[in-house]
């Protein structure tokens, strides 16, 4: 999104017959003062809430702000969604390493939760904030994981660059991406997401989804998630976790939303008790967490 007036999120992988339960947009902007919280999805304007403030991730401005908005009314399922109307100093799609004028947009993600009668019951936890690496926190859910365990985690990380390697992603104190792992062994967060405009060193935004079933024990109700870096200024702005807690039970389960404070992460929203799986789409990246 840096130096871009708009870009696209492509949602795919939601099965036919599914019902959208909730959809959230999370995005990050850097500036010397707090920029407006407005953004548009397919031309409809939404006003977000600041859910985390941090440093500038080494871009010579004062602050970085993470925003969250409920955008459920405009998310209808698979398709291409236009993201626009966010604060940006330049709109010419220029290379961030050539031109920089704040506000500096970092990236955005759509988190879409849907239900389907053939899917198992899952606990879905997503955390949003603005936590400069190294970062580690604990996610919790109320109903225990059942065996055989099915679990995935997605790290949404700001300001990754491919000229500063050796970032790592961790789950339950195990390095699952970056040096020491088989997934992205050189750098877990190289700014790998697609970008429409020019860029010398990546898109400044990463979504990394990993199957962590082998690292979650049956009966468990918590896990730890983290990121670390060696030479790159990166931060965790959102994390999405899902784990099976039961078998298919039909559509229409109860949805419980809790807000929990944890460390520097602004809140953790726990959504459990719904027959659902999650499709987590990050702007510029065409992939689904299902």
Structure confidence at residue 193 (pLDDT) = 84
* Residue indicated by tokens 């053939």: 118
| Residues constituting the chain | 290
Average pLDDT (230-257) is 72
Mean pLDDT, the chain, whole residue set:
83
Nearest to 248 by CA among 146, 115, 117: 117
DSSP 103-116: SEEEEEEEEEEEE-
12, 56, 184, 206 from 133: Cα distances, Å: 30, 12, 18, 14
Average pLDDT (244-253) is 58
Whether the model pTM is above 0.95: no
Residue 57 contacts residue 158 (beta carbons within 8 Å): yes
Q: How is the chain split among helix, strand and coil, in percent rounded to 5?
A: 0, 50, 50
- Given a cut of 60, whether residue 15 has pLDDT beyond it is yes
Facing residues of 227 across strands?
135, 169
Q: Please provide residue 266's backbone torsions phi and psi, each rounded to the nearest 5 degrees.
A: -65, -45
d(CA 118, CA 251): 9
């Amino acid at each position: 999104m840096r130096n871009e007036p708009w870009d696209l999120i492509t949602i795919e992988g939601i099965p036919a017959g599914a019902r959208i339960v909730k959809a959230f947009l999370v995005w990050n902007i850097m500036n010397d003062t707090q920029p407006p919280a407005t953004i548009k999805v397919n031309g409809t304007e939404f006003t977000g809430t600041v859910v985390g403030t941090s440093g500038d991730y080494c871009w010579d401005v004062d602050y970085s702000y993470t925003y969250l908005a409920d955008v459920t009314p405009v998310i209808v399922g698979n398709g291409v969604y236009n993201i626009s109307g966010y604060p940006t100093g330049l709109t010419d799609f220029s290379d961030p390493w050539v031109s920089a004028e704040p506000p500096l947009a970092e990236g955005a993600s759509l988190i879409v939760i849907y239900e389907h009668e053939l899917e198992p019951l899952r606990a879905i936890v997503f955390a949003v904030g603005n936590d400069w690496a190294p970062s580690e926190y604990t996610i919790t859910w109320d109903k225990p994981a059942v065996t055989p365990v099915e679990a995935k985690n997605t790290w949404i990380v700001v300001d990754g660059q491919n000229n500063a390697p050796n970032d790592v992603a961790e789950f339950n104190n195990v390095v699952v991406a970056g040096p020491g792992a088989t997934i992205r062994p050189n750098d877990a967060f190289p700014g790998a997401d697609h970008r429409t405009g020019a860029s010398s060193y990546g898109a400044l935004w990463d979504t990394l989804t990993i199957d962590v079933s082998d690292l979650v024990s049956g009966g468990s109700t918590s896990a730890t998630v983290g990121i670390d870096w060696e030479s790159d200024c990166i931060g965790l702005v959102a994390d999405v976790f899902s784990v099976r807690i039961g078998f298919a039970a039909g559509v229409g389960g109860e949805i419980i939303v809790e807000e929990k404070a944890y460390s520097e992460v602004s809140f953790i929203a726990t959504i459990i008790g719904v027959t659902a799986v999650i499709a987590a789409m990050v702007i510029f990246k065409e992939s689904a967490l299902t």
